[in-house]
């Protein structure tokens, strides 16, 4: 039996994913497309977007949805607004929006420059804020929808040498709570996923570091590093109708790491300083 002949839970729904060409975004797009959605993936550069869209196009056709891409800086309000409009074109509304972008540099608290902290915190908070603003406005005018932000276990743990990143992700969590509180009456749900260490293009320096991985596994009940699809499955649940009574919540996908302690990045910071 083909996928198209089956009932797809997201048939007739439209979605936007910023950071859609990275590991987590790509895996999320695959799940949404496979369930019949019309999906737009967006990021700053076109190369991986085009490759991802080409890869997922046969699945989209079979499932009865579509996959398109657009370049978009997730911290640029006008570009995100345009991406929201593009994502809504197939159906006239936007049902699901996912904000993936985030990141930050390692440094001791006493070594960060104020400008560096401001940049990291701003990047992590402003990207989901802009998505919530524009996707939320569209959804509120169309009867509702679901917004999912990617946070981090760093939002709720002390992570030495990641003070700016921790502050940024804690800001994401606070933003999600308030947005969910305000937008619920408009039919818009806002939730977040907190990944643990996950093997993506941007985390290769950590997942290929045997000492770091050993520390993570020592602090995890589940003895493996996360995969992009682990995070995408949680995003898919929060984005879709299966979680229609869930808002202002956080799913931590970390192998149980937050049950124990965060790792010590002292050796990583020292080795990077030596390399410079």
pLDDT digit string (tens) for 87-100?
A: 999 999 999 999 99
Residue showing tokens 């049902």? 95
Give the tokens for residue 272: 């990077």
Give the tokens for residue 115: 């400008």
The residue ranges of every structural domain in the chain are 14-275
Cα–Cα distance list, 124 to 37, 168, 234 (Å): 27, 5, 20
CB 145 within 8 A of CB 187: yes
pLDDT bucket at 2, cuts 50 / 70 / 90: very low
pLDDT at 45: 87
Which of 69, 112, 165, 250 is catalytic? The answer is 165
* The model's pTM: 0.95
| Residue 9 to residue 236: CA distance in whole angstroms | 11
Give the tokens for residue 132: 């919530």
CATH match for 14-275 among 3.30.360.10, 3.40.190.10, 3.40.50.720, 2.40.50.70:
3.40.50.720
pLDDT at 274: 67
Active site residue 216: no
Q: What is the number of alpha carbons within 13 Å of residue 138 lying toward its C-beta?
A: 28
β-strand partners of 184 = none
pLDDT at 4: 46
pLDDT at 273: 67
Lowest mean pLDDT among 1-10, 128-137, 145-154: 1-10
CB 225 within 8 A of CB 45: no
Alpha helices, H only, 14-93: 23-34, 47-63, 77-88
Helix (H) or strand (E) holding 205: helix 204-207
pLDDT bucket at 3, cuts 50 / 70 / 90: very low
| Residue 232 to residue 29: CA distance in whole angstroms | 8
Share of the chain above pLDDT 90, in %: 89
Greater confidence, 270 or 206?
A: 206
SS3 147: strand
What beta strand segments (E) does 74-140 contain? 96-99
Q: State the average pLDDT over residues 77-84.
A: 98
């Amino acid at each position: 039996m083909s996928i198209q002949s089956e009932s797809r839970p997201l048939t007739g729904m439209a979605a936007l994913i910023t950071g859609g060409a990275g590991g987590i975004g790509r895996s999320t797009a695959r799940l949404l497309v496979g369930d019949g959605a019309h999906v737009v993936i967006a990021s700053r550069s076109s190369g991986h977007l085009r490759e991802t869209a080409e890869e997922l196009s046969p699945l989209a056709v079979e499932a009865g949805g579509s996959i398109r891409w657009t370049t978009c800086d997730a911290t640029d309000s006008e570009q995100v607004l345009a991406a929201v409009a593009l994502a809504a074109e197939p159906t006239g509304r936007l049902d699901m929006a996912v904000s993936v972008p985030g990141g930050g540099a390692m440094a001791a608290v006493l070594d960060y420059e104020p400008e560096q902290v401001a940049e990291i915190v701003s990047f992590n908070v402003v990207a989901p804020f802009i998505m919530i603003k524009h996707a939320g406005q569209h959804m509120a005018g169309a009867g509702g929808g679901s917004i999912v932000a990617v946070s981090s276990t760093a939002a709720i743990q002390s992570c030495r040498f990641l003070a700016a990143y921790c502050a940024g992700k804690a800001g994401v969590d606070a933003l999600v709570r308030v947005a969910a509180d305000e937008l619920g009456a408009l039919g818009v749900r806002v939730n977040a996923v907190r990944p643990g260490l996950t093997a993506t293009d941007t985390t290769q320096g950590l997942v290929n570091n045997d000492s770091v991985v050993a520390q993570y596994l020592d602090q995890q009940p589940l003895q493996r590093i996360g995969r992009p699809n682990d995070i995408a499955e949680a995003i898919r649940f929060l984005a879709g109708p299966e979680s229609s009574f869930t808002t202002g919540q956080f799913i931590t996908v970390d192998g149980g790491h937050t049950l124990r302690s965060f790792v010590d990045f002292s050796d990583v910071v020292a080795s990077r300083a030596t390399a410079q």
